[in-house]
Amino acid sequence: MSNATTFDPNGVQSHRTHLNLRHLPSKKEVKGSWPRTASRIDPNNPPWPAYRGYHEYSFAHATMGVRLPTILGKAIEDATRTLNEQHDEEKVTDLVQCIERMEALMSDLSGNAKLRPIIDDGEGDIALWNKEIAKYFQGKDFMNAPWLFAEAYKYRRLHECFSVSKHWPDYDVFYRQKCDTFSRSADAVFELSMRFVEPFALAEGISAEEKLEAERLTFLELTQVCLWGNSTDLSLLINMTEDQIKALQSTGGEHLAATEKNILGNHLHKLWDTVKELRERPEIGGRIDFVLDNAGFELYCDCVYADFLIQSGLASQVRFHGKRFAWFVSDVSRKDWDWLLNTMVYGQLFPKATDQEMESLRRLGRRWKQYEKEGKWVYEQHPFWCTGYTFWSLHEEAPDLFLHLSKSDLVIFKGDLNHRKLTYDCAAPASTPFDIAIGPMANSAGAPKVASLRTIKSDVVVGLGDDGDEVAEKLDESEKGWKISGKYAVVLLSDGRPGEKVRFT
């Protein structure tokens, strides 16, 4: 330590003390610890750095600044089209007010307004939404809040535009578009219906080993059909041509063999080992849950997959979890579920189809409706799926749902949004193991086995193995935009902690 005498501009003498630091250790580069400890995690402070709308390098920036205003604009156009089809004055004026609320939302979104509480519209998620906003996002705006929460908030506000109305509380501005994704998918629809119209059966006279191998190959192929059916995410591919849809929806064996190399985190064979064990418990059978993603063609692929699971005896019951109302453009609601099954049996969507093709579709639809009557298929909807919380909070914020899922032998989460919610939508290294990335959904007592079937269409990428960081870096260099193209995918599995007693603090 040394003293030095100096003079200020007015000539007044002053004394300063200087520290001599040459005997201390050299300065080190200091980095935050990731993932954060559980005590430091909350919706505004996720386990790894969050993506936010002001991050210009991320897909979050393009979504909040361009995609969401475009999607909202199309929603306003749809509501206006519906308005022009009405004749009852009370319904007309009620819908005019809905459109005015949508325009106010557009103003908030474009002007980067602060996030206000959700108006109490009687939905079961109000307390969860407003608690999260008050506790973690006071003063936050659309661009400052984590992208996942801000995007979910926008869709919840969109539902509010109609849910507070008298005549239009269940109106879905994306309904026409969701129906179109199925009607424009004729080639892939009939390719599957013609192949699976007959109940799954194995050739007689073959050995037990040959039967198991035939099932394994069918399972692996249908898992890929279910996976790549997610490629036609309406919120991203809303202006696709029919040729582009056909290319994405090809379900032939050669095509699937070629696309497996694009599954960067690939637990397909581990998933088969998990599912084939379910049949070994005939006294109770196996239960598989699907947390659904997109309506239309993707839901159709999910049902073809679930049909095989029932027919082969790999599962005795399949439970499908959808949304309570219109969500993220194309997510499945009860209305979408009913529409698909009924249009397969009674609809006239495909005027160019042959009688044989239409009959295959009708028979498939009738079989699926029979599954519902027998309780082999069950459609469910829980308020938690339409909240801003990630699935790290499911155990704490929706204990009834966690307990329900813990009784499943396997929970399959479909699509990009569900994957983002599983992983907290963070900038985690690509080498991060899946069971680490999903936190409590893997490590809580009683957590079920969890699989994620996801085509990669946003920034978060985990589960690519020990060399995952190098794989991601090479793709960053060779294929700009690979994280949002839908060309690549992951099939990831967590073993969870099934069989343990679920505990809540």
Query: What pLDDT score does 242 carry?
Result: 44
pLDDT, tens digit, 9 for 90 and up, residues 157-190: 999 999 999 999 999 999 999 998 899 889 999 9
How far apart CA 471 and CA 241 sit, in angstroms, is 31
**CB-based contact 403:281 (threshold 8 Å):** no
Q: Hey, which of 28-37, 109-118, 237-246 has the most confident mean pLDDT?
A: 109-118
Query: What pLDDT score does 1 carry?
Result: 53
Residue 250 has pLDDT above 60, yes or no: no
How far apart CA 57 and CA 34 sit, in angstroms, is 21
Q: Which domains does the chain have, with CATH numbers?
A: 41-163 (1.20.930.60), 175-494 (3.40.50.10880)
Average pLDDT, stretch 15-28?
A: 62
Average pLDDT, stretch 111-126?
A: 97
pLDDT, tens digit, 9 for 90 and up, residues 197-240: 998 888 888 998 999 999 999 999 999 999 998 765 433 333 43
pLDDT, tens digit, 9 for 90 and up, residues 255-277: 566 778 999 999 999 999 999 99
How far apart CA 428 and CA 51 sit, in angstroms, is 10
DSSP per-residue string spanning 313-345: TS-SEEEEEEBSS--TTTB-BHHHHHHHHHHHH
Rg (CA), the chain: 26
Average pLDDT, the chain: 90
Cβ neighbors of 456 (< 8 A, separation 6 or more) are: 264, 416, 482, 483, 484, 485, 486, 487, 488, 489, 490
**CB-based contact 211:276 (threshold 8 Å):** no
pLDDT, tens digit, 9 for 90 and up, residues 417-440: 999 999 999 999 999 999 999 999
Mapped to the 3 state alphabet, what secondary structure does 450-502 carry?
EEEEEECCCCCCCCCCCCHHHHHHHHHHHCCCCCCCCCCEEEEEECCCCCCCC
Residue 100 has pLDDT above 70, yes or no: yes
How far apart CA 163 and CA 325 sit, in angstroms, is 10
Query: What pLDDT score does 49 carry?
Result: 94
Q: Is pTM beyond 0.75 here?
A: yes
pLDDT, tens digit, 9 for 90 and up, residues 444-488: 999 999 999 999 999 999 999 999 999 999 999 999 999 999 999
